[in-house]
Amino acid sequence: MWTVREPARITLDGEVSRLSVALVAGRLNVVGSDGPARVEVASAGRRPITVRHEQGVLSVRHEHVPKLPGIVWWLTRLGRRYRCDVSVALPGDRPVEVSLVSGAAGSPCSAWPGGYARA
């Protein structure tokens, strides 16, 4: 397990069978790659990002997200603390589960105009 608080690049040794991402705010890119799976965090915001690789499952997430009603979240602007910029590269045939509360998620894809598929 890695706790990322500043820009970092993590290359994984083992096989990745599935990706699970749960981030609060920011930008997420998921790309297919022939090489080993890796996670690149360009910025982590004020709240750390946890990266785990257990039993083939790669998970990237913000931990300990407060459970507040939407209007309270918006008024207190807590999302700013979680803003991050994360890229994940893994074999292109792996299933991906993404949860991103506020931000942009994309994956390079030649079938979509502009080269990106939006989630």
In 63-91, which positions are buried (b, 16+ CB within 10 angstroms) versus exposed (e)? eebeeeeeeebeeeebbeebbbbbbbbbe
Alpha-carbon distance of 30 to 47, in angstroms, equals 21
According to the model, what pLDDT value does residue 53 have?
Answer: 96
According to the model, what pLDDT value does residue 99 have?
Answer: 83
Averages of pLDDT over runs of 10 residues in the chain (119 residues) are 94 93 88 92 89 95 67 56 87 88 58 40
Bridge partners of residue 28, in order along the sequence: 86, 105
| Sequence-ordered list of residues with C-beta below 8 angstroms from that of 72, at least 6 positions apart, any chain | none
Q: What residue ranges do the domains of the chain occupy?
A: 2-118
According to the model, what pLDDT value does residue 106 have?
Answer: 60
